[in-house]
Amino acid sequence: MAIPLYIASALVGYLLGGIPSGLLIGRARGVDLRTAGSRNIGATNAFRVLGPRWGALVFALDTLKGYLATLIPKLLAGGLAGGLFEAARPGDVLTATLAGGIASILGHVFTPWLRFKGGRGVATSLGVFLGIAPLPTLVAFAIWVSLVAISRRVSVGSIGAASAYPFLVYWLAPRGAPRGVVTGVAAAVALLVLVRHLSNIRRLMSGTEPPIVGAAAKGERT
C-alpha cells in the first residue's frame, strides 16, 4: 500500500528537525548545553556558552534542517521514492511541503531524541519558510537582525519578526489560493514561536532579560 506523500514528508521532516544541532556541537566542544547557560540547546544559548562562531554554526544547521524539510516532498514526488509513495496530484506537493516543514519545526521544539525537549524553533522556522515563501521570510529576517542589533537581545528580534511574519506573507507572497493557506500556517508557526518566548516576554517586561553579549549575559537563562 502506497504511503501518502504528506505523511512521508511529515515523518522525515520531524526526524530531521529533531536532530539536536546545538547539543551535538556543544558536546564536540566538551559542553552540554542542557546544563550550561540557559540550559537550552538552541543557537542563542550556544552563542553565549560556546561563542559567536559556534553559535552561528548551530543557527545555520538549525536553519538548514528546516530548509531541507521543504525539499523532501519535491524529491519524493520527483520519483526518488521508487513507487513506495503515492503519485503526486496537483496541490499534493504544496501540502506535503507544508506538512514536512511544520513537522521539522515541531521536531526541533519537541525533539524525539531528548525526551521531547528542544529549542524555540526560530532558526528552523526561518529555514522552512525560506523554502516556501522566500521574499517575506527575507524581510522578516531583516527585521530580526535590526531588532537584535538595536536591542542586543535575540528574544526581541524573534518576537518582533514572528509578530510581523503572517502579515508579511499576506502582503508579499504570490497571490492565489495557496497564499491564504501559507498565511494561515505562518500565523500558526508565529504563535508557536511567541508561546515558546513567554518567559522572555515576562523578563522583557520586568527589565531582566539579558543581552546576547556582555557581562549580563553570563549564566542567565533565556
Q: What is the pLDDT of residue 104?
A: 96
Nearest to 109 by CA among 66, 142, 139: 66
* CA 97 to the chain's CA centroid: 15
Q: What pLDDT digit, counting tens, does each position of 11-24 carry? A: 999 999 999 999 99
Rounded to 5 degrees, what angle do the CA atoms 42, 46, 52 make? Answer: 130
Q: What pLDDT digit, counting tens, does each position of 75-96 carry? A: 777 655 555 555 556 567 888 8
* Of the ranges 32-46, 56-70, 114-128, the best mean pLDDT one: 56-70
How is residue 140 written as a grid cell?
A: 522578516
Evaluate if residue 174 carries a pLDDT over 70.
yes
Q: What is the pLDDT of residue 55?
A: 92
Domain ranges (residues) in the chain: 1-118, 133-214
Residues 139, 168 contacting (CB under 8 angstroms): yes
Evaluate if residue 133 carries a pLDDT over 60.
yes
Q: How many Å is the Cα radius of gyration of the chain?
A: 18
Q: What is the pLDDT of residue 216?
A: 45
Task: Give the HSE-up count for residue 164: Cα atoms under 13 Å, Cβ half-sphere.
Answer: 18
Under the banding of pLDDT at 50, 70 and 90, the label for residue 179 is: confident
